[in-house]
Structure 1
Amino acid sequence: MLKILLFPFCLLYSNNLYSPIPRDSIQLFFTNFKEISNTKKLAKVDDIIRKNIDILTHEADNLFEKPLYSISSKKTMPPSGDFHDYLSMAYYWWPDSSKSDGLPYIRKDGQRNPESLKIEDSRNLNIMISMVWKLSWAYFFTENEKYASKVAQILRFWFLNPSTRMNPNLNYAQFIPGIVEGRGSGIIDFHRLPFIIESIGLISCSKFLTSQDKIGLKNWFENYLDWLQNSKNGAKESKAKNNHGSYYNTQLAICALFTGNTHVADRTFQKSFDLISYQIDSEGKQPEELKRTLSFMYSSFNLQAWLLLANMAQTRGVDLWHYHSNDGRSLAKAISYLVPFATGTKKWEYNQIKPINTEGLFGLFVVASKKFNDNKYRNAALMIEGKEDVISKLIFR
């Protein structure tokens, strides 16, 4: 089992390029520390790795010119009257053209209403996460403190500063005009939350992430974990059986691990066995995702949640990767099912109203090749590698 420290004290490290960080000095939940440390060492002799690190640091350097984004900068007031509450509109809901006022809105699956883009919180959230993710990996591979300093600044701006912080709830996520002020389904807006927590771990050795910052972040995620479990929206989303259920469990588990609530984490991992059995059939298809107008996208999207969840479960000695139901339902079959369609050797047979995008599958295939000791996944990863981002090429090898 991977040993982790909640808020480790870092004794000493070097600012020299590609210098090692001790294993017990950072807190990671779904990234393989041994593998990324080996990649970092190989950068001294491997031109491709070094080139990718150079690309990463160049991209990270460009982020220093970007403004900071916060929850309080939006122009639309949430129903609570508090700009610190997150607000978003359901993407696939449109005005009813048969009604003079368009209300209540109607659903058009897979077709994003541009009206939803007018509320900035979702966009700003994703910009913030992308910045933190890129900068924290630039810090890991170079140990240049300027990157950690910027990550800490961004985290304080979004989560801690009184004038700009987000309240730890999603009460008003994905509202639908004429129907509801916020939905349990809106919790999917935070599906990239694990990347925030992993980024905190990556810079936890830096002097720029202070003890006060660490306490404040821990408190924020404790409060969010409480909201996930005890709010009306959280309770509803906890019952979801499709990708929403997978990402709810992923958020629940990483918040629990990060805040030291191993009871909730372990309970979540144990419940996940049943979710695998429900979501995946004996052929490896995901029926709930195949109902969608973007069926390939959602099938891929759901398995990317399982990549995070299964890796997190391993830190607690729970093996979701190799679980098979009595009738053969498993993550292995679901991943195998997507391989020929992702690589273009077979044509996708279900509704997909937009072109197939394999982004995110590279890492899934690389990890699957190791977990299942099967080169077909490695070969598939190599076929789609060119479409993947530079961080994935560094942390999945």
Structure 2
Amino acid sequence: MYIPDPSPAALASHLRKTTGPDEGAVVFLGDAHKDAFSEWERLGAETDCPVVVGLFPGVVDGAHWRHEGAVVLSVPVQGRPQVLDLTRPVPGPTEASAAASASFLVLVDGLSEHVGKALLWLRDRCGMEHVCVGGGAGRRSMTPGPCLVANETRLQDAAVVIPLAGQADLGVRHGWTRTGTSLVATRTDGAVIEHLNWEPAAEVYARAVEAHQGAPVAPDAFAEVAARHPFGLLREGREDIVRDPIARTDDDGIRCAGPVPENTVLHVLEGNADALIDAAGQVGAAGKPPESTPDTVFVADCVSRQSYLNDRMDEELEAIAAGGRRNDPPPYGVLSIGEIACDGTGHLEWLNKTTVRASLSTSSETSPEGSG
């Protein structure tokens, strides 16, 4: 549910009345509350259930998004959340980890340079048979800082893994398409592409965009061009994984919003508002329907989609709400800084510029077929 004017005290009272003994609470705060984020440390101590809080660029309330307010999800849990400090070697799994749960909700500091470490942990512990869904927290200004609360502690450079009980059905779409230009990331360093096709990455990227659009790219237009032309990491038989270029480095490399493995084949992508909105509308319709109506529909929609769509963002959220199955509840969730998705049939991935939708049910049986 959406709470327009939240406070830790009022929300604690609400959770004590509404959250069952086998449930946990996840609180998504809009960016308007960033200056008072420290106040949320005490929320868990004032409730009788595990509580995780995340600060996001925006929250999704049905067919609308908002800077202010909180979205609160009460979800069936199977153990307490596990916190991963991404600045240190990550620990082994707790009893609440992969062996005990069929699905996970994951919140991570989307501005951390160590997101890849959280993905490796999840891949090692959860494998491909578990459904994982989540998103990157952080301030809309993209300024690093504490953005998660778990165990009554504010966290930065961290991830929180929440083991869920019941069924999770996942859909993933983005709608960006290939321009026809493919490149090879011949030298990378984490999230930085240093060379494309054995040349400085920014120079090669600019030439590729110029060839596609038939006009030169101005030296100071990198951010504008990158918003329209992200990279796509090749995935055969399905949509490429979008990787958002976010800055040109001093030595003509390109910093991306997530890791790029060396020797990856990249496509230069393009999009338009209609295609993105249409793709978002399909995200709830894929795969085999679950046997029961979900209790909760969670959405992580990339904040860069909102920046791209601007005043058409509500159209995208309306499409997501309308594209679900009959009798689905309205979607609630976040505008995220990166998205996490694994449908239980393939690899877990860190995504950019993508819409992820998860139907969560208290049913103990998992969906027989993934939908991503």
Alignment TM-score, normalising by the size of structure 1: 0.29
Alignment TM-score, normalising by the size of structure 2: 0.30
Higher normalized helix content (fraction of residues): 1
Q: Which has the higher contact order (CA 8 A, sep 6+)?
A: 2
* Greater Rg by CA: 1
